[in-house]
Every structure is written in structure tokens, then in C-alpha cells.
Structure 1
């Protein structure tokens, strides 16, 4: 009831100022005719401003009857302004169609009306990186590290803000709002495989580190990221890539509607991708991936647009797995060799996603989304070789089939609070996961079942609701306050215990607060505080009495955005995070298990510097200090949590047809166990990309690891025993990173 009274108060306050008018407008891209989200709108000389929402709309309320000069700007576009006359008790409409322009850091504006509450990876950023798949796009996020350790078809391991996130326990990943994380997954909680996204179709990636957004729920502890795919295909294209290690890739997309339909803002395209590679391991990876996608975007009524996406994805591969240091040092195998050549797997996912965006008669924006996924997964791994079974080996099989569906809704109201600009968001989320035969088994040669360890069906539902209010309190100060509620219902049917059914449920409330103070046009400070959570595996919470279903997390960021000179932007933040329950990967079981409480603190520093008109330099340095709470000194380190990371390099954009980048990635040494007696060694790797575009043709050369550094991409402290050993050994087991790896590409637009 308090929430509804709060809403009523603000809505009634916004209508209390009689005889005032408003400006309602829309900003679109001149080429694609699509809305531009995040454009900055300001009233010249009035210290009033807003940003455009997802539909490109904006609204400025409580204006006295008078002429106003409205200016719109957005990075990568030519700024525009128009003069409008506001009348009493009327909404004056205005439209802007922005033309693209060369990007310049001088255009970056710091203001209370447009606080940097989230960041963006653009399609241009992706084109100028050595990207092999959509998951690698996440490397652009400052401080985020990924690593592959079981062949190219498995979701990469993720590290961020002092977390070994494994495959997604502490980062919320979505694609066009559809969940990528899989709850209660056969391989590990929060498993997030984004390989069903075609990189060339990514229009941008929104992301934020921390747990400060009310519309983000489960797994949003270290941060979140949402892949946005293109609603409109600007040009048809076909692309072929050929690389070392028998690597091939074909990708293309084509519009399927006639020009007359496109002129009426109706768009539809089909796209496909096929990849094959043996990779650089001694045992061929035989990696295959197929992606198909179709998308429609258009207006179904005057004020409602529909975006419908259907896609399917399939992948199959072999893997060399993790190998122990001693096997390489003794000469038993090479650096790129394998102990068990029978690892690998298959996976598939089919998605349907419908998004409705409506502008109501009162100029409110209402977004509704319905989605469905059918998902299948099978993985064979061997982490410990002959530790448990000296005769048959320790190979395990993890398998599941899953149906996932859900609904998201957000209602956005731009209104006035006295003479202050404000936006109210109210939303609900629902997702339901049903798995069939979630399995963990002991196998031999992928075909023989030796022991069933776990087998059953998961039924998990999550309903959430949130509300947040953004207010520009003054020309220098803005605030966003939010509240989120989540309810989980967990059920597990155990087929190894005569189909016994186990149940559990829980709820959690998560408040959020974000403050932004803009000292001047070149300096802004911000404070973010909030509460979030990462859910526990259904099988764990129903089997272990007293285990938390929704372990809470509390965090804060204190940071600044500073432009010391027009062509340099610096973002720095000190952050702190406390978790009520840590999730730890258990290598010999191949699962995630909950541990005790933990805390993390650190700092992030990012710099962007425009050296010349088309040449940019960037560098990100990140430090984290993760610790387990309640453990004795010397036994309180968190295994594999990354402490020091840095990414950066030079980027050349559109200089006489040439573009490209020279990039580095650095990860420092980190403890592989609680007392640091086993150390996971760091690495420094450099990549390069060069493209030349002429008319509708483009040719590119990308090189990973240009200095051919020998490095370990993923590492674990694991106890194992080889077939000829009497005693087990606890040491680093690793997957090697790519050696020098060159790839040529050729694309044509038509």
C-alpha cells in the first residue's frame, strides 16, 4: 500500500501545476529510421534536460507558456536544435532525425540530466576487436576476463570484480531481454552460453558493474550485460573467414521485405552462421557451430511496434580438457596435449521472442515481452583422471533438456515533480524453468554408464516486481531510487529416490539508490548503493536443510567521471561488495557448491584518449581484494579470484578506408587455493586487427597472440591421479591459450 500511495503522490503532484505545458518528442536515426535511445535533450539556457527512452521518446513537463530552444545530441551523430512554442495546458510535439558523424570524445557530455548510470559497447567497438564469437564481446567490459577450458562449444569461464564467476553465477546476462543464464543447470548454477548470438548482428551491449538497477534480478552481483541485436539490417551482407588450424566461418544476412514495406517502416531479415575449426590442440577439436535467425520489426498499430525474433543454434565439439602441470613437465604430453581425448559435448538452443512497445495517449511508454527457449546440453569431462576409479577413469557426463519461458513488462511515466523533471518505472518479471532428466553420471568412453550420481527434473519459477523513480533534483544533482521484490518456488523430482518430490520457496527485497552530482560540464561524482542476490541450485536447497535459497549481496560504488581536457575521459570508482554466501566450483564433481560469507573491495580506473581525429587510446586497470569471512588468516583467500587486470590499446577508425586495433590483455598472478600455496600464473597477450573497406567490399586480417606467448587461459588447483601413478597430486591443471593465430576475412555488402 505504501508503494501505491507513493505512486499516487507523484502523479497527483505532477498535475498540480495548472496552466503549464510540456514538450513531447522523438529522436530517430536518419538512415535506419529507428529510435535512438540515450540521446541527450536539453533546453538551451534553462538547465532542464532528459534522455530519450528505448522508443526514442522524451518528455519535458511543467513548462511555462513560452518559446524554447531544444537541442539534441548523441555521440556519433550531428547535434541538432529546434525552437518550439509551448502553450498552456498543451503538449507540443517535436521530432529529430539525426545524421551520423565521425565520433569524437569532445562530444561526450557530463550532466545531471544524463548521468552515466550504464555503459555501452557499440557495434563499432565489436568490429574493431579480434572477436571469434559473441561471448568474447564481453572482454570489452573493463575488468572482465573470460577463458575457455573445455572446447569452443562450452560457455566460457568469467572473472569480474574479484569473482571466479565460473560460467555465470554472479553476472546477469541477457540477449534482447531474454535470459542467457540457466538456473539449476547440469554443469553449474547460472551457466550462461551466449554462442547463439551472431556477433555481426550485435547492435550494442549495455552493461554495468554492480547491483544497482531495480529491473535486474537474479545473478546481478558483480554486474550485468544485455546484448542488443539489430532491429533493422542496414545492408545485406555476406562474409567468409579462413584461418589457421583448419578454421572456416561463413556468415550472412539479407532483408526479405520489398522496398515499399521498408519505406513504411516494416523490416524483416534472415541471417545465418556456420563455423568449423580443429583448433590448436594436438587432438583435433572438430568444432561445429550453426546459427540461424529471423527478425521482424514494424508497427502493428499507429502507437505500437512489434519486434519478433526466432533463432536456433547447434554446436558439437571434442575437447582436450584441463591437463596437469606435471604431465607437461615430464614430457608425457605436450603443452597442447590431452590426458583424456574423450571429452567434449553437444548443445542446442531454439528461441522465440516477441517485444511490444506502446506509446499511450498520455505519452507513457509501455513495454511487454514474451519469450520461450528450448535448450539441450550434454558434456563429457574428466578433471581428476584416475583418482576415484583407477580402472575405468573418472569421466563424468552432465546432461539436461530444458524448456524456459517468461514475461517482462515495464511501464514508464515521464512526469514533473514540482518544477523538477522525473521518470517513474514500474515493472514485473516472470520466468519458469522446467528441466528433463538433469543428469550427473560416471561414464566411460562417453557410451558406458558406470554410476548415476544425480538424475531428476527441476521445476523452478521466479516472479519479480520493481519500481524506481529518477529525479533531477537540481541542475547539478540527480537521484534514482528503486525497490525490487523477488519470489522463488523450487521443486525437484529425484528419479534416484523413487521419484520423490522435494520443495522449497523463498523471497527477497532489494533496495537500490543512485546519486549523481555534476560539479561542472567536465566533472561528475556518483554514489551507488544497493542489495542484490544470486539464487542457489534447486537440487542443493531441497536436499540440504538450512541452505539459503537466495543468498543476499550488498554493494556500493563511489566514483567519478572527469574530462581533464576535451579529448580525455577518465572514469574511476572504489567499490565494496559483501556476500552472504559464496559459490565455489568443485572440480572433482564438476559442480558449484555454496560456501561461507565473503567480502570484496577494489577500484576500477578507465581512460579514453583521442590522440588524433581517427586514432584513439584506451586503458582500463582494475584491482580487487576478495576475502572469505570467518576463516583464519592465511586460509581466507578465494581460489582463482582475479586481483589485477588491465586491458587497452590503440584503435584506428575509418582513416582512408583503413580501420583496426592493437590490443593487450593482462591478468596478474592469483591464488589457486585458500592459502596461496598453489598459484595460478598470470599472462600478457596482445591481439591485432586491420580492415580495409572500399565501396561495398571489405577485407580484414586478425591475429590473436601476435607475439606467440605461451600462456594458460584457465587454471584450477585440482587433485588428480594419472593412470601410472600410485599417489594423487594436487597442483595446477590448465587449458592452454591460443598460440599465434591468424585469420583472413572478406565481406561484401549489397
Structure 2
């Protein structure tokens, strides 16, 4: 059963956060305070280096209706977040013509900690953001492309760094209830520990979520989230120590052959496998420190993460008669590491150049990562099981120079080294695999900025070029044979190289209107493509992409935010696949979003968002495409008093009958398997339907 959020528990949490409150704030309206973050708050100049970087503020998130926590990343222009399984699993991400799968080409950090998991049981770069608490987000600093010195592994399309608040205006408890068994309880508060009220702060938050979803097989999602944060000062000058604990368990309705729904064998929200799903955990301790001095700045961070996942799925439908083809992917690891950066201003003799040097260390100690055959979540055999120690070390130097009032440059050089030791622990055909592997890359990066010019308001022009990479699974780089049948396989390189370039502009044509336009291209040495009949991603050939992005942010008056984004892209393999096609499957060529948020600190507030996904190729020839669709989410809120506020979210406002995700691959329905007509899988469309219109109401009480 989902978590039961009863009155005693709500009361206990309310008492906890109210004890953290600052009495001086008790009379205020119980909303989270707005925080505005500069695009490059860590740097001394504090200006953009490309047309496609920026920061999402708390004000932009405050009235944004979200179906899932990771949808906070859809504030990054052009980013799409979907799901093809249960809500305890990492989402599917799409950006710049990339099917990022679960995060293989987009790097995300939360409170200085990496979220992407290398050599993961389910997918390389697995990026599970279900532990995110959107109400606590202070800002999301994002960059696109491979141009920033700080960005390394997985940052092929870009990166995001998510920071939490260090203090709240006052503590609160929020209770959410909705259709399909949705329950959520969030309690959060902070208090100063020093006598002046402006020094050290202690922030505490607790979240419980339960959800069944619209599925014929209830999702039975149970999620708990805890946070404890001690801080002093700001992100630019101060420190923060954060402990987090997250856990979830769920039953999943996987994507299914579309013909199973069309034939009436299952309903639109039906399942073919009764016990798919899983459980996961993420416990962490992190520390961040920064100092801003006269002409110099220093920051450093360190972290320790305990992570685990047991994922049960049957992605090929129902192959195998009465048994099905469910398997378990298991991952248990300890991740530790840190980074440091120091910046100097070199003085007038060197045009006040900012010189930065930085280093980063990360080690994944994966005790066991494996693939097992299962029946009803009980293991029946071991395909492969391994132990992996993977270490990544990076160093970089970056120089930012203002040559003239209208010309500045950023040059950087980064070196990454990755080494891995793989030991085979189990699997009949896996014991000959394993070994040690190393890889490295030197990545030059260059950016030029022209302006500002008085063209349609303040205008700057940008040119960027750079090299980047994503790592491949260490098992793929050391295995000699397929662990399923001992057939020989080719090893993949540990590092897949990328090269990108971009031209763009930023302008402020009218007061309150900021717009950016960019044209970009990207070449990738090894593509990761979803294989539907195996439920995995595998490296394919090299690919090329190019596209155009247009982003707009408008604040005509205080409290009113309008945004509109448009992204077009084209993705093709450098060499055609065996089928004769060169389309990259699931690379979305057109996305658009429009949103409005209104909150002038009066009794009413709200937000409306529309999102469009264009049709994309499902396989290499492009003969089969997904169906394009619009969807909309609405939030409407009312402050009943200075202490109480109520909000209503309407998700999928127009009840669109579309698919959250579509694939093409070999699969079976239950009837086909039982009739013996499947023969290992029939190629066809695999779908996971968009959730229907649903209502979620929330009541927040401040203290």
C-alpha cells in the first residue's frame, strides 16, 4: 500500500518544522522566498560565455505544475523529460536531437554531487532525479554544449547544477492529495543558530509520497526523502554541509506493444508483466565551501554517496510462454570524490584576465553489478555479475580576458583520465570477461563574445567551439564475449569523443524581454541507441547533429513571467545502418514550450504550461515515426490567509490521448507467446501512454 499520511504523522512533522521557525517571521505569508541567481555566480566577471547558458530561479519553479520531480529540468530550454516505466525509475531525457536515455549525454550535479552513474546496471550515465525536492531548489545553472572547462564526462549536450536553499522565509507543512491514489506530505523549515540571525542556518526537510497511477496494475509507489543542511554565508562566500536520504519502491507498467492495446488484449493502461518494478536508495553526505576575496575566489566540495538499485523489467513484452522474460538489473555502489577551483584576477597589466585552475576526482566502488533472469522477482539464473572500481581524475585551466570594451574571450584546456578494473563474479559465459582498461582525453575549448552593442537593445554575439566526451560502460570496454551465449563481441572504447561548435546571440529588445538565438552542430564518435528487444542501450556508429534554438524570457511587470522556447534539430548516423537508413532513433527534431506564471503576492497566483513534441523516427530508415502531440499543465492557487494557501494542479489539462514515449523493436503480446506465433519477437511499435488528466490539490500551512 502507498504511504498513509495520517494526522499523527502530519502533526509530528508540523511540530518538527515549527520548532525551527524564526518567530520574527511568523506573520509573513507562507511562501518560499524568491531568490535570483546570476548566470555565473561563481566567477568574478559574472557574465555569460555562450548564448545557451543561464540560471533558472526559484521564482520560475514556484508556480510550475510538475507531474514528476525531474520535470524541473524542463526549465532548461529544449529539454524534454518523459517516462517509459514506473515513477521510481530514472526518467527519459531528450535534448538537442539526442535521446539521452536515462542521462548518458547530459551531466547533472545536485549540491555539488554527481547524479549520473557510470557503468550502471541499467544504462550508462543513469540519472535518477526522483530524490529532488523542487520546493527547495534555489537555482538551476545550466550550460549547453561542450564549451565549459568544468564540464567533463556525460556533458555532451550540456550540464545542469542544482543548488538548494540555505534558509526558508519560514517553516511550513504541505499536504497534497489527488486522483489515482496520489498522496504527498512535505515539511520543511530552517532556523538561525547564531545570536544575530544571519549566521549559521539549519534546514530540515522531510517528504513522503505515495501514488498508484492510472495503471490497471497499481504502481504502489512509496517514496521517502529526508534532508538536513547546516550552512553559513552564501554559495559565493560560506559553507554548507548536507545529509540526504532517499528510498523508493514501486510496481511498474512497462512500455508494451501497441497492437496489444489496439486488439483489446489489454487496456490502454494495462500491463503484460505483473511484477515489474523495483526499489532504490540514495544516501549521501556532502560539503561545499567557497571564499570570495580581493581579486580572487576559491571553492571546493566533497561528497560520499551510498547508492543501490534492484530493477525488475520485461522490456520485450511477454516472450517465453507462461514464464515471461523478466530480468533483474542490480547495482550497489559507494561513490566518493570532490573538486576544487581557484580563480585569480591578474591585474591591469594582463587586462584583468581571470585565470582559473581546477581539479576533480571521482571513484565508483561498485561492489556488485549484475543481470539476472527472474520469475516474479525471484532469481532463476545469473547472466553476468561483476565487481568494478572506476576512477576518474580531471584537471583544467581556463582564462577569461576582456580585450576591448566589445571583445572578450574564454580559452580552456581540460584533461580527463579514467581507469577501471572489472572482475567477473558470476555468469556461465561471463567468467572469461573482465580486466583493466584506461582512457583519456585532452579537451580544448574556445569562446568569443562580441558586444554589447546597441542593436535592438543590448546585444551580444557568441562563438563557441570545443571537445568533450561521454564514457562507455567499463564492462563493454573489457568484455571479450557475450555473457548470454559466449559469442565473440567487439570491445568498445572507454571514451566516446565529441566535438561541437555554436554561434549565437543574446539581446534585450525591450525592457523586461530577454531573447537568445543559437545555431549549433555536434559530432559524436559513438552513439548510444535503445534496443527494444533487449531493453538495453548499446553503442552504434558515429553521428552528426545540427540545430537551431530560440529562447525567450519576458517579465513585463513584477510578478508576471512569460517564457517561450523553440528547438529544431537533425540527427543522422555518419554511416548508414545495415537497414540502409541513417536516422538516429528517438532523436526528437522539434520541441516547443510556452508558459506563463503570475504571482504578485496577492491572494491569487498560478501558472500554465504548454509543451509540444514533434514526430521522431523510431528506427534507422525513418519509415516509422512517433505521433506528435501537445500537452498542457495548469496550476491555480489561492492564499486563504497570511498563514494558509491552497493550490490545484490539473495535469494533462486537455486529456490528450498521446504516448509519453514510443520505441520500435521486437516484442510479444501474451496471446502471441501462448500461441507460439511470436518466435522471439515481432517488430512493432512499443508505447507507454501519457497519463490522463488528473487533479492534485495541495494545502500549505506556515508557522
Question: In the alignment, what sits opposite 1:217?
Answer: 152
Q: How do 1:48-67 and structure 2 match up within 5 A?
A: 53=42
Q: What is the CA distance between 1:748 and its match in structure 2?
A: 2.1
2:180 and 2:213 in contact (8 A); partners too: yes
Q: Does 1:253 align with 2:188?
A: yes
1:511 and 1:530 in contact (8 A); partners too: yes
CA deviation map 1:481-538 (0-9, x unaligned): 1111000001111113558751100110011111111123521111111110000100
2:37 and 2:57 in contact (8 A); partners too: no
Question: In the alignment, what sits opposite 2:87?
Answer: 152
Q: Kindly tell me the number of residue pairs found equivalent between the two proteins.
A: 649
Q: Does 1:731 align with 2:684?
A: yes
Inter-partner Cα distance in structure 2 for 1:450 and 1:655: 59
TM-score by length of 2: 0.88
List alignment gaps of at least 5 residues for structure 1: 1-31, 40-50, 60-110
Task: Give me the CA root mean square deviation.
Answer: 2.5
Q: Identify which of 459, 467, 477 aligns with 1:531.
A: 467
1:638 and 1:671 in contact (8 A); partners too: yes
Q: How do 1:541-556 and structure 2 match up within 5 A?
A: 541-544=477-480, 547-556=492-501
Question: In the alignment, what sits opposite 1:197?
Answer: 132
Question: In the alignment, what sits opposite 1:398?
Answer: 329
Cα distance change on mapping 1:115 and 1:708 into 2, 3 Å: closer
Q: What is the CA distance between 1:450 and its match in structure 2?
A: 3.0
Inter-partner Cα distance in structure 2 for 1:203 and 1:613: 19
Q: Does 1:385 align with 2:374?
A: no
Q: How do 1:314-333 and structure 2 match up within 5 A?
A: 314-333=247-266
Q: Identify which of 349, 363, 370 aligns with 2:282.
A: 349
Q: What is the CA distance between 1:279 and its match in structure 2?
A: 0.9
Q: What is the CA distance between 1:426 and its match in structure 2?
A: 0.6
2:560 and 2:600 in contact (8 A); partners too: no
Question: In the alignment, what sits opposite 2:439?
Answer: 506
Q: Tell me, what secondary structure is at the counterpart of 1:138?
A: helix
Q: Does 1:656 align with 2:602?
A: yes
CA deviation map 1:11-64 (0-9, x unaligned): xxxxxxxxxxxxxxxxxxxxx99998638xxxxxxxxxxx7636xxx58xxxxx
Q: Tell me, what secondary structure is at the counterpart of 1:285?
A: coil
Q: Does 1:244 align with 2:179?
A: yes
Question: In the alignment, what sits opposite 1:102?
Answer: none
1:183 and 1:189 in contact (8 A); partners too: yes
Q: How do 1:110-189 and structure 2 match up within 5 A?
A: 118-189=53-124
Question: In the alignment, what sits opposite 1:482?
Answer: 412
Question: In the alignment, what sits opposite 2:203?
Answer: 269
Cα distance change on mapping 1:426 and 1:167 into 2, 3 Å: same
Q: Tell me, what secondary structure is at the counterpart of 2:219?
A: coil
Inter-partner Cα distance in structure 1 for 2:576 and 2:354: 45
Q: Tell me, what secondary structure is at the counterpart of 2:160?
A: strand
CA deviation map 1:65-86 (0-9, x unaligned): xxxxxxxxxxxxxxxxxxxxxx
Inter-partner Cα distance in structure 2 for 1:151 and 1:692: 32
Question: In the alignment, what sits opposite 2:165?
Answer: 230
Cα distance change on mapping 1:182 and 1:235 into 2, 3 Å: same
Q: Tell me, what secondary structure is at the counterpart of 1:539?
A: helix
2:333 and 2:368 in contact (8 A); partners too: no
Cα distance change on mapping 1:374 and 1:655 into 2, 3 Å: closer
CA deviation map 1:224-265 (0-9, x unaligned): 11111112233211111111111110001122554x445251
Q: Identify which of 365, 368, 371 aligns with 2:300.
A: 368
Q: How do 1:398-437 and structure 2 match up within 5 A?
A: 398-418=329-349, 420-437=351-368
Larger RCO: Structure 1 or Structure 2 (Cα < 8 Å, ≥ 6 residues apart)?
2
Q: Does 1:705 align with 2:652?
A: yes
Q: How do 1:556-571 and structure 2 match up within 5 A?
A: 556-571=501-516
2:532 and 2:665 in contact (8 A); partners too: yes
Inter-partner Cα distance in structure 2 for 1:33 and 1:739: 33
Q: Tell me, what secondary structure is at the counterpart of 2:623?
A: coil
Inter-partner Cα distance in structure 1 for 2:626 and 2:49: 41
Q: Does 1:690 align with 2:642?
A: no
Q: Tell me, what secondary structure is at the counterpart of 2:346?
A: strand
Q: What is the CA distance between 1:184 and its match in structure 2?
A: 0.4
Q: Does 1:294 align with 2:294?
A: no
Cα distance change on mapping 1:696 and 1:584 into 2, 3 Å: same
Q: Which has more radius of gyration?
A: 1
Cα distance change on mapping 1:414 and 1:116 into 2, 3 Å: farther
Cα distance change on mapping 1:384 and 1:343 into 2, 3 Å: same
CA deviation map 1:683-733 (0-9, x unaligned): 210111112234232211111111111110011112112233213421111
Question: In the alignment, what sits opposite 2:3?
Answer: none
Inter-partner Cα distance in structure 2 for 1:196 and 1:374: 13
Q: Tell me, what secondary structure is at the counterpart of 2:208?
A: strand
Inter-partner Cα distance in structure 2 for 1:278 and 1:554: 43
Inter-partner Cα distance in structure 2 for 1:684 and 1:113: 32
Cα distance change on mapping 1:605 and 1:33 into 2, 3 Å: closer
Q: What is the CA distance between 1:117 and its match in structure 2?
A: 6.6
1:493 and 1:499 in contact (8 A); partners too: no
